[in-house]
Amino acid sequence: MNTIKRQIAIIILCFIFALIAFVVGLWIFGLWHNEWSGYNAGAKMAISDGLCNIAVMPILGNIIPYAGADNDGSGNEMSPSINPDDFLEIVSMAERDKDILGFFLRIDSGGGSPVASETIANAVKNISLPTVALIREIGASGAYLIATGADEIIASPFSDIGSIGMTMSYLENTEKNAKNGLRYVSLASARFKDYGSPDKPLTFAERSLLERDLKIYHDHFVKMVSKNRNLPIEQVAKIADGSSMPGALALENKLIDFLGDQETARDWFAEKLEISSKEVIFCE
Protein backbone atom coordinates (compact mmCIF):
# COMPACT_ATOMS: atom_id res chain seq x y z
CA MET A 1 0.00 0.00 0.00
CA ASN A 2 2.80 2.38 0.94
CA THR A 3 4.56 1.51 -2.31
CA ILE A 4 1.50 2.50 -4.33
CA LYS A 5 1.19 5.80 -2.42
CA ARG A 6 4.84 6.57 -3.06
CA GLN A 7 4.40 5.90 -6.78
CA ILE A 8 1.35 8.15 -6.91
CA ALA A 9 3.24 10.88 -5.02
CA ILE A 10 6.16 10.62 -7.42
CA ILE A 11 3.82 10.88 -10.42
CA ILE A 12 2.12 13.96 -8.91
CA LEU A 13 5.50 15.62 -8.17
CA CYS A 14 6.71 14.91 -11.72
CA PHE A 15 3.52 16.41 -13.11
CA ILE A 16 3.93 19.52 -10.93
CA PHE A 17 7.59 19.95 -11.97
CA ALA A 18 6.67 19.48 -15.63
CA LEU A 19 3.90 22.07 -15.31
CA ILE A 20 6.25 24.54 -13.63
CA ALA A 21 8.89 23.96 -16.32
CA PHE A 22 6.28 24.51 -19.04
CA VAL A 23 5.07 27.79 -17.48
CA VAL A 24 8.63 29.05 -16.97
CA GLY A 25 9.45 28.10 -20.56
CA LEU A 26 6.47 30.07 -21.86
CA TRP A 27 7.50 33.07 -19.78
CA ILE A 28 11.08 32.97 -21.08
CA PHE A 29 9.83 32.57 -24.66
CA GLY A 30 7.50 35.53 -24.19
CA LEU A 31 10.34 37.73 -22.99
CA TRP A 32 12.54 36.66 -25.90
CA HIS A 33 9.76 37.15 -28.44
CA ASN A 34 8.91 40.63 -27.19
CA GLU A 35 12.53 41.68 -27.20
CA TRP A 36 13.13 40.27 -30.69
CA SER A 37 9.93 41.79 -32.05
CA GLY A 38 10.89 45.14 -30.59
CA TYR A 39 14.34 44.81 -32.12
CA ASN A 40 12.90 44.04 -35.54
CA ALA A 41 10.39 46.88 -35.31
CA GLY A 42 13.16 49.23 -34.31
CA ALA A 43 15.34 48.00 -37.13
CA LYS A 44 12.58 48.66 -39.64
CA MET A 45 12.05 52.17 -38.25
CA ALA A 46 15.74 53.07 -37.98
CA ILE A 47 17.92 54.50 -40.74
CA SER A 48 21.14 54.71 -38.78
CA ASP A 49 23.19 51.63 -37.97
CA GLY A 50 24.36 53.39 -34.83
CA LEU A 51 27.42 54.76 -36.59
CA CYS A 52 26.08 57.04 -39.35
CA ASN A 53 24.14 60.22 -38.54
CA ILE A 54 23.10 61.83 -41.85
CA ALA A 55 20.14 60.29 -43.71
CA VAL A 56 20.72 60.07 -47.46
CA MET A 57 17.81 60.22 -49.90
CA PRO A 58 18.53 59.89 -53.64
CA ILE A 59 16.28 61.84 -56.02
CA LEU A 60 17.12 59.90 -59.17
CA GLY A 61 15.41 59.69 -62.53
CA ASN A 62 11.77 60.45 -63.14
CA ILE A 63 9.62 62.01 -60.41
CA ILE A 64 6.37 60.04 -60.45
CA PRO A 65 3.07 60.42 -58.53
CA TYR A 66 3.07 56.94 -56.99
CA ALA A 67 5.11 53.73 -56.91
CA GLY A 68 4.83 51.71 -60.10
CA ALA A 69 3.69 54.63 -62.26
CA ASP A 70 6.60 54.10 -64.63
CA ASN A 71 6.78 50.29 -64.76
CA ASP A 72 6.67 48.21 -67.92
CA GLY A 73 3.30 46.64 -67.15
CA SER A 74 4.86 43.65 -65.42
CA GLY A 75 5.75 45.52 -62.24
CA ASN A 76 9.35 46.16 -63.33
CA GLU A 77 10.57 49.76 -63.18
CA MET A 78 11.95 50.93 -66.52
CA SER A 79 14.34 53.43 -64.90
CA PRO A 80 15.17 54.89 -61.47
CA SER A 81 12.37 57.00 -60.05
CA ILE A 82 11.12 58.68 -56.89
CA ASN A 83 7.58 59.18 -55.62
CA PRO A 84 6.13 61.17 -52.69
CA ASP A 85 4.99 58.13 -50.66
CA ASP A 86 8.45 56.56 -50.56
CA PHE A 87 10.05 59.91 -49.84
CA LEU A 88 7.70 60.75 -46.97
CA GLU A 89 8.30 57.32 -45.43
CA ILE A 90 12.07 57.91 -45.39
CA VAL A 91 11.59 61.38 -43.89
CA SER A 92 9.37 59.95 -41.16
CA MET A 93 11.93 57.25 -40.36
CA ALA A 94 14.76 59.79 -40.26
CA GLU A 95 12.92 62.12 -37.91
CA ARG A 96 12.10 59.24 -35.53
CA ASP A 97 15.67 57.94 -35.51
CA LYS A 98 17.47 59.57 -32.57
CA ASP A 99 20.86 58.93 -34.21
CA ILE A 100 20.00 60.96 -37.33
CA LEU A 101 21.16 64.59 -37.13
CA GLY A 102 20.66 65.76 -40.72
CA PHE A 103 19.08 64.99 -44.10
CA PHE A 104 21.03 64.85 -47.36
CA LEU A 105 19.37 64.90 -50.80
CA ARG A 106 21.45 63.54 -53.66
CA ILE A 107 19.73 64.83 -56.80
CA ASP A 108 20.18 63.62 -60.36
CA SER A 109 16.86 64.17 -62.13
CA GLY A 110 15.36 66.18 -64.94
CA GLY A 111 11.97 66.41 -63.23
CA GLY A 112 8.64 64.72 -63.80
CA SER A 113 5.16 65.02 -62.31
CA PRO A 114 4.46 68.61 -61.16
CA VAL A 115 2.22 67.52 -58.28
CA ALA A 116 4.69 64.88 -57.07
CA SER A 117 7.52 67.42 -57.29
CA GLU A 118 5.55 69.99 -55.31
CA THR A 119 4.63 67.41 -52.65
CA ILE A 120 8.24 66.34 -52.17
CA ALA A 121 9.49 69.96 -52.21
CA ASN A 122 7.04 70.88 -49.44
CA ALA A 123 8.09 67.80 -47.45
CA VAL A 124 11.75 68.83 -47.75
CA LYS A 125 10.86 72.34 -46.62
CA ASN A 126 9.16 70.94 -43.51
CA ILE A 127 11.92 68.54 -42.45
CA SER A 128 12.89 69.39 -38.87
CA LEU A 129 16.54 68.39 -39.42
CA PRO A 130 19.24 70.44 -41.16
CA THR A 131 18.90 69.63 -44.86
CA VAL A 132 21.28 69.91 -47.82
CA ALA A 133 20.58 69.18 -51.48
CA LEU A 134 23.48 68.18 -53.72
CA ILE A 135 22.76 68.44 -57.44
CA ARG A 136 25.04 66.12 -59.38
CA GLU A 137 24.60 65.85 -63.17
CA ILE A 138 21.19 67.51 -63.37
CA GLY A 139 18.64 69.15 -61.12
CA ALA A 140 16.08 70.57 -63.50
CA SER A 141 12.38 71.43 -63.52
CA GLY A 142 10.61 69.48 -60.74
CA ALA A 143 13.92 68.18 -59.39
CA TYR A 144 15.17 71.73 -58.97
CA LEU A 145 11.90 72.62 -57.26
CA ILE A 146 12.57 69.82 -54.76
CA ALA A 147 16.09 71.15 -54.15
CA THR A 148 14.71 74.59 -53.25
CA GLY A 149 13.08 73.09 -50.17
CA ALA A 150 16.50 72.37 -48.63
CA ASP A 151 18.38 74.72 -46.31
CA GLU A 152 21.30 74.83 -48.75
CA ILE A 153 21.86 73.75 -52.35
CA ILE A 154 25.27 72.57 -53.56
CA ALA A 155 26.17 71.76 -57.16
CA SER A 156 29.12 71.12 -59.43
CA PRO A 157 30.22 73.78 -61.94
CA PHE A 158 29.25 71.17 -64.55
CA SER A 159 25.76 70.50 -63.14
CA ASP A 160 22.72 71.35 -65.26
CA ILE A 161 20.36 73.45 -63.13
CA GLY A 162 17.04 75.25 -63.38
CA SER A 163 14.67 74.74 -66.31
CA ILE A 164 11.99 76.67 -64.44
CA GLY A 165 8.90 76.32 -66.60
CA MET A 166 6.15 74.00 -67.80
CA THR A 167 5.38 72.15 -71.01
CA MET A 168 2.40 70.40 -72.57
CA SER A 169 4.00 69.78 -75.96
CA TYR A 170 3.01 66.67 -77.90
CA LEU A 171 3.19 65.09 -81.36
CA GLU A 172 0.16 65.60 -83.59
CA ASN A 173 -0.80 62.54 -85.64
CA THR A 174 -3.41 64.01 -87.99
CA GLU A 175 -1.32 63.99 -91.19
CA LYS A 176 0.09 60.55 -90.43
CA ASN A 177 -3.40 59.21 -89.77
CA ALA A 178 -4.70 60.71 -93.01
CA LYS A 179 -1.94 58.98 -94.99
CA ASN A 180 -2.88 55.71 -93.31
CA GLY A 181 -6.56 56.17 -94.11
CA LEU A 182 -7.55 56.86 -90.51
CA ARG A 183 -10.13 59.50 -89.58
CA TYR A 184 -10.74 60.83 -86.04
CA VAL A 185 -14.39 60.67 -84.98
CA SER A 186 -15.14 63.04 -82.11
CA LEU A 187 -17.91 61.92 -79.73
CA ALA A 188 -17.89 64.13 -76.66
CA SER A 189 -20.64 65.52 -74.45
CA ALA A 190 -18.81 68.82 -73.92
CA ARG A 191 -16.99 71.15 -76.29
CA PHE A 192 -13.51 70.70 -74.84
CA LYS A 193 -13.81 67.14 -73.55
CA ASP A 194 -11.31 65.72 -76.06
CA TYR A 195 -9.13 68.79 -76.56
CA GLY A 196 -5.43 68.05 -76.68
CA SER A 197 -5.94 64.73 -78.45
CA PRO A 198 -2.96 64.09 -80.76
CA ASP A 199 -5.34 62.59 -83.34
CA LYS A 200 -7.20 65.84 -84.08
CA PRO A 201 -6.03 69.34 -85.01
CA LEU A 202 -5.82 71.80 -82.12
CA THR A 203 -8.25 74.69 -82.55
CA PHE A 204 -7.43 78.26 -81.51
CA ALA A 205 -9.85 78.04 -78.56
CA GLU A 206 -8.30 74.76 -77.41
CA ARG A 207 -4.77 76.17 -77.64
CA SER A 208 -5.90 79.19 -75.63
CA LEU A 209 -7.15 76.91 -72.85
CA LEU A 210 -3.88 74.98 -72.71
CA GLU A 211 -1.83 78.18 -72.69
CA ARG A 212 -4.03 79.56 -69.91
CA ASP A 213 -3.31 76.50 -67.78
CA LEU A 214 0.39 76.61 -68.61
CA LYS A 215 0.62 80.20 -67.38
CA ILE A 216 -1.10 79.30 -64.10
CA TYR A 217 1.29 76.38 -63.54
CA HIS A 218 4.29 78.48 -64.55
CA ASP A 219 3.41 81.33 -62.20
CA HIS A 220 2.98 78.91 -59.30
CA PHE A 221 6.37 77.35 -60.04
CA VAL A 222 8.00 80.80 -60.03
CA LYS A 223 6.30 81.72 -56.75
CA MET A 224 7.51 78.54 -55.06
CA VAL A 225 11.11 79.11 -56.16
CA SER A 226 10.89 82.75 -55.08
CA LYS A 227 9.59 81.80 -51.63
CA ASN A 228 11.89 78.84 -51.01
CA ARG A 229 15.02 80.65 -52.20
CA ASN A 230 14.03 83.97 -50.63
CA LEU A 231 14.44 85.77 -53.95
CA PRO A 232 12.36 88.62 -55.44
CA ILE A 233 9.70 87.13 -57.66
CA GLU A 234 10.72 89.48 -60.48
CA GLN A 235 14.25 88.07 -60.36
CA VAL A 236 13.02 84.49 -60.63
CA ALA A 237 10.52 85.37 -63.37
CA LYS A 238 13.32 86.91 -65.42
CA ILE A 239 15.27 83.64 -65.58
CA ALA A 240 12.22 81.35 -65.68
CA ASP A 241 12.33 80.86 -69.45
CA GLY A 242 12.56 77.08 -69.31
CA SER A 243 16.29 77.02 -69.94
CA SER A 244 18.82 75.38 -67.66
CA MET A 245 22.26 76.69 -66.76
CA PRO A 246 25.60 75.42 -65.48
CA GLY A 247 26.40 75.48 -61.77
CA ALA A 248 28.58 78.60 -61.90
CA LEU A 249 25.81 80.64 -63.57
CA ALA A 250 23.23 79.19 -61.18
CA LEU A 251 25.38 80.45 -58.31
CA GLU A 252 25.48 83.93 -59.85
CA ASN A 253 21.69 83.87 -60.13
CA LYS A 254 21.36 82.61 -56.53
CA LEU A 255 19.64 79.42 -57.59
CA ILE A 256 22.23 77.53 -55.51
CA ASP A 257 24.39 78.41 -52.50
CA PHE A 258 27.74 76.71 -53.09
CA LEU A 259 29.82 75.04 -55.76
CA GLY A 260 31.15 71.76 -54.42
CA ASP A 261 30.46 68.10 -53.76
CA GLN A 262 29.53 65.73 -50.95
CA GLU A 263 32.56 66.84 -48.92
CA THR A 264 31.26 70.40 -49.11
CA ALA A 265 28.00 69.11 -47.67
CA ARG A 266 29.93 67.26 -44.95
CA ASP A 267 31.67 70.49 -43.93
CA TRP A 268 28.34 72.35 -43.89
CA PHE A 269 26.74 69.74 -41.63
CA ALA A 270 29.78 69.84 -39.33
CA GLU A 271 29.50 73.60 -38.93
CA LYS A 272 25.73 73.51 -38.52
CA LEU A 273 25.81 70.69 -35.96
CA GLU A 274 28.94 72.02 -34.22
CA ILE A 275 30.87 68.78 -34.64
CA SER A 276 33.99 67.86 -36.60
CA SER A 277 33.77 66.86 -40.26
CA LYS A 278 35.04 63.40 -39.30
CA GLU A 279 31.98 62.97 -37.10
CA VAL A 280 29.62 63.59 -40.03
CA ILE A 281 28.88 60.13 -41.42
CA PHE A 282 26.42 59.61 -44.27
CA CYS A 283 24.07 56.62 -44.10
CA GLU A 284 24.94 55.21 -47.52
For 124-144, what is each residue's pLDDT tens digit?
999 999 999 999 999 999 999
pLDDT of 117 reads 98
Higher pLDDT, 36 or 140: 140
pLDDT of 38 reads 39
Which ranges of the chain would DSSP assign to H, the alpha helix?
2-45, 84-96, 114-125, 142-147, 174-179, 204-229, 233-239, 247-252, 262-273
Q: Is 132 helix (H, G, I), strand (E, B) or coil?
A: strand
Report the C-alpha gap between 80 and 46 in whole angstroms: 24
Which uninterrupted H or E stretch holds 138? strand 131-140
CB 104 within 8 A of CB 57: yes
Higher pLDDT, 24 or 59: 59
Residues 6+ apart with CB under 8 A from 127: 91, 94, 95, 103, 149
pLDDT in tens, 40-99: 334 445 788 889 999 999 999 999 998 876 655 555 556 789 999 999 999 999 999 999
pLDDT of 50 reads 87
What is the share, in percent, of the chain residues with pLDDT greater than 70? 81
Please state which of the ranges 7-21, 78-92, 169-183, 241-255 shows the lowest mean pLDDT. Answer: 7-21
* Span 2-6, average pLDDT: 61
Average pLDDT, the chain: 88
Phi, psi of 68 (to 5 degrees): 90, 0
User: In Å, how far from its chain's centre is CA 156?
Assistant: 21
Region for 242 from its dihedrals, namely left if φ exceeds 0, alpha if ψ lies in -120 to 50, beta otherwise: left
* Span 103-120, average pLDDT: 97
Could you tell me the residue ranges of all domains in the chain? Answer: 1-45, 48-163+247-284, 165-242
Report the C-alpha gap between 2 and 8 in whole angstroms: 10
Q: How many CB atoms lie within 10 A of CB 177?
A: 15
* Span 202-231, average pLDDT: 97
Global confidence as pTM: 0.81
pLDDT of 48 reads 85
CB 124 within 8 A of CB 152: no
* Span 271-282, average pLDDT: 97
Report the C-alpha gap between 23 and 96 in whole angstroms: 37
**CATH code for the structural domain at 48-163+247-284:** 3.90.226.10
